[in-house]
Structure 1
Amino acid sequence: MLVSLVNEPRDYAWGSTTRIAELEGRAPSGRPEAEVWYGDHPADPAVVPDGRSLGDWLAAEGAGTGAPLKLPYLLKVLAAASPLSIQAHPSKEQAAAGFAREEAAGVDRASAERTYRDDNHKPELLVAVSETFTALAGLRDLVATRRLLGALGDAGRPLAERLAGPDAAASLRETIAWLLSGAAQAEVNAIVAAAAQADDEEFAAELALARHLDDAYPGDPGVVVALLLNLVVLRRGEAVFVPAGVLHAYVEGLGVELMAASDNVLRGGLTPKHIDVPELVDILDPTPAPPPVLKPEVHDGIERFSVPGIADFALQHVAVHPGGPAAVNVDGVGIALVTAGEVEVEGTRERVTLIPGCAVLITPDEGAVRVKGSGDLFVATPGR
């Protein structure tokens, strides 16, 4: 069965006023439009043609399985015009323990001080839809970071000294805790001021971003935390994968995002929202590493983004065109979304034509769908 899905954009302040409207081929609303959710997450479920939420429909219909069903993933279109908060997400074990702890303490799930809103992990994958998508993802190799700090002169020296220990991960964990504690504000201010004046060919983009972040969040220690992260500029169709504990922040661009169905976020700066520093540091993976860019497997012209050990989701990207792939396998319950062109998706009984921003649920009994037309199609499914 194929079931059409619609939803309204969420108006987070960092959202673009134009990108989602342009994708959907309509006039801008005049408000920031940050995300469109295509899933059954109770915070903002998609709606099926009879007016029910997707969650209610899946509970009643079971998506062809004969039993109530809940999606293990959440598919989104994300449009950032300004930086999101620096953040990390817990592992499944950390989320279960944290959620149980806050439930036992009686912390209201809607409270701004609440850290764990569910007991699930939130690994996430983002594929660039715009020509470029800028992000910060993962902690940079410390040899390179010390070169960047060297470009800041005397202002960068205290931070470089803190990062000079023999254990890179331990040094980073302790330094991030110090930066976010409030005790380092004088050093933060000095580094930000030096970054505003510094001129370094190797790190020109990182320094320019620091100036941009300080304009958006003046005095925020997250501006300095951002200087410890890999700057990633994805080209259209390229992807970044963020596993548990990895600090990241999306900066600017339009993308398709797929994640485990969770709302657990530990923030680390660039936000007026609650930051639980001890809990962030506890769940943090401080291991420096290259940017976590994810390469797809390509079979029969279809790109498949999947990660070993992540059973919640996988994402297929299909360039649909005459002579291209005619069939797309769908393992489990799927959601198909078009971001360019016009694509006809045909199941065993229904046929749906999708234009950019339109999505359709594919029930597990289909197994595969046939596609034709010309455009970019993304198909989310459970992982392997």
Structure 2
Amino acid sequence: MIYKLTGALQHYVWGGQNYIPQLLNIPSKENQHYAEWWLGTHSSAPSVIEIGDKALSLTEFLQQNPTALGEKSREIFGEGLPYLLKILDVAKPLSIQLHPTKRQAEIGFAKENAAGIDLKDPKRTYKDNNHKPEMMIALSDFWLLHGFKKKEKILATLAERSSLAPLAEKLRNQDCHSFYADVMQADQTQLSQWLAPIIKQNHEAYAANELGLENPDYWLRYSMEAMDISPEKLDAGLVCFYLFNIVHLKKGEGIYQEEGIPHAYLRGQNIELMACSDNVIRGGLTPKYVDIPELLKVMDCHEVEPQIIPAASHDVRVFTYSTPAKDFALQNIQYECGETHHLKIQSAGILMVMKGQLNLHSETTALSLKQGESAFITSGSSYEIEGLSEGYAVVAKLP
């Protein structure tokens, strides 16, 4: 069975104002931020499914129709949809963050519940008891931070800037956890000693757009401007531009974020698919609460060589992106006008039309969907996609 599905908007202040409304073909309100579009059952923003002339939350539908998830999904992940599909428009940098393992999330969630910390409390770290591995596919040129660079690269980056040379010496004599803890807990005097000379030195080059985007000095200046960070109130997360990999993804390319890997989205639009969780442990670049002990407990400090997920080939019309995730997989389905694809899904799936228009047929139902519209496909369904104009859709499902 196939049902029309409508997601939920999230209006976080780092979001852009036009991209998501244009993708969804909805009017945008002046001075409103459209940061994310969620498709799934997360309790913060469940999607709505249409059944005839009635509408109910996807969560309620699955409670009433648990077999729609599929036997494998229920066996491994229980009675909920195991993944969450999102569209993001990153106009300002997001906080540096990482996500816990399943076990860490279960322990942390239970501990905060026992302590009586409300789920909406700013000092609450664990919003649920699930892990949150995630993948993303760039919908534009996309820039992000992803994991610690190789130690020799960090040392070289620090040594190139005289004000950061003391940090290089510090890193030579400390393990990564202790080093990062000291950086995150540095006071304003110390942060100013490290960063103020770089800020001053690059003032004219940044204003003249002469700094390359692979240069951490650019992102230091850009983040201060975009996030309204003053030189008198520096954020310790700004130092991370000199410690982490700065990754550039071209449109169509992607990356997988394992548990414990520090990362931050800096600029661009993407499709994001993750385990159904909202557990975020922040590590800087944020005015919000940073739980240093928990951050260091979950942080994976090993050196990371970013593994870019290749873009879907135009010759492979039905393409599944490769990741190690067990909770989700993302399929890219391309079509021309009149082109058809016959598919079968073993788990519950969410399809979203990213470009163009298509007809979606199953044995019992038919839908016509255009760019920005979505459908929920029940487990075991055989279905056909017929392109009405050139474009592509994505399908979130189990691997």
Scaled by the length of structure 1, what TM-score is found?
0.91
Q: How many residues align?
A: 375
Q: Which amino acid aligns with 2:189?
A: A
Identify the residue that residue 117 of structure 2 maps to in structure 1. Answer: 107
Identify the residue that residue 259 of structure 1 maps to in structure 2. Answer: 274
The answer to whether 1:146 aligns with 2:155 is yes
Q: Which amino acid aligns with 2:222?
A: H
Q: CA deviation at 1:325?
A: 6.3
Q: Distance in 2 between matches of 1:158 and 1:202?
A: 25
Identify the residue that residue 317 of structure 1 maps to in structure 2. Answer: 332
Q: Relative to structure 2, which stretch is displaced further, 227-236 or 83-92?
A: 227-236
Identify the residue that residue 4 of structure 2 maps to in structure 1. Answer: 4
Relative to structure 1, the CA distance from residue 107 to residue 26 in structure 2 (aligned partners, 3 Å threshold; closer, same or farther) is: closer
Of 165, 171, 191, the match for 2:194: 191
Of 178, 182, 192, the match for 2:182: 178
Deviation readout 1:246-288 (Å, 9 max, x if unpaired): 0011111111110000111100111111110010011000011
Q: Distance in 2 between matches of 1:272 and 1:119?
A: 25
Q: CA deviation at 1:209?
A: 0.8
Q: Distance in 2 between matches of 1:331 and 1:296?
A: 24
Other structure's SS at 2:9 match: coil
Give the CA RMSD over aligned residues: 2.4
Q: Which amino acid aligns with 1:75?
A: L
Q: Distance in 2 between matches of 1:44 and 1:204?
A: 36
Q: Distance in 1 between matches of 2:103 and 2:109?
A: 10
Other structure's SS at 1:293 match: coil
Of 156, 159, 162, the match for 2:167: 159
Q: CA deviation at 1:204?
A: 5.3
Q: Distance in 1 between matches of 2:258 and 2:214?
A: 28
Q: Distance in 2 between matches of 1:43 and 1:201?
A: 40
Identify the residue that residue 81 of structure 1 maps to in structure 2. Answer: 91
1:1-384 equivalent positions in 2, closer than 5 A: 1-30=1-30, 31-49=32-50, 50-62=54-66, 64=68, 69-130=79-140, 132-153=141-162, 155-165=163-173, 171-181=175-185, 183-196=186-199, 197-198=201-202, 205-215=215-225, 216=227, 217-218=229-230, 219-295=234-310, 300-308=316-324, 310-322=325-337, 326-373=341-388, 374-383=390-399
Q: Which amino acid aligns with 2:320?
A: R
Structure 2 runs not aligned, ≥5 long: none
Q: Which amino acid aligns with 2:193?
A: A
Relative to structure 1, the CA distance from residue 201 to residue 113 in structure 2 (aligned partners, 3 Å threshold; closer, same or farther) is: closer
Deviation readout 1:43-102 (Å, 9 max, x if unpaired): 100111222111111111235369994100000111110011100000111111111222
Relative to structure 1, the CA distance from residue 338 to residue 65 in structure 2 (aligned partners, 3 Å threshold; closer, same or farther) is: closer
Q: Relative to structure 2, which stretch is displaced further, 17-26 or 258-267?
A: 17-26
Q: Distance in 1 between matches of 2:152 and 2:212?
A: 13
Relative to structure 1, the CA distance from residue 194 to residue 56 in structure 2 (aligned partners, 3 Å threshold; closer, same or farther) is: same
Identity of aligned residues (%): 33
Other structure's SS at 2:43 match: coil
Q: Which amino acid aligns with 1:185?
A: Q
CA contact (8 A) 1:296 1:306 kept: no
Other structure's SS at 1:52 match: strand
Q: CA deviation at 1:292?
A: 3.7
CA contact (8 A) 1:210 1:227 kept: no
Q: Distance in 2 between matches of 1:123 and 1:136?
A: 16
Q: Distance in 1 between matches of 2:66 and 2:195?
A: 53
Q: CA deviation at 1:137?
A: 1.1
Q: Which amino acid aligns with 1:99?
A: F
Q: Distance in 2 between matches of 1:73 and 1:207?
A: 36
Q: CA deviation at 1:188?
A: 1.9
Scaled by the length of structure 2, what TM-score is found?
0.87
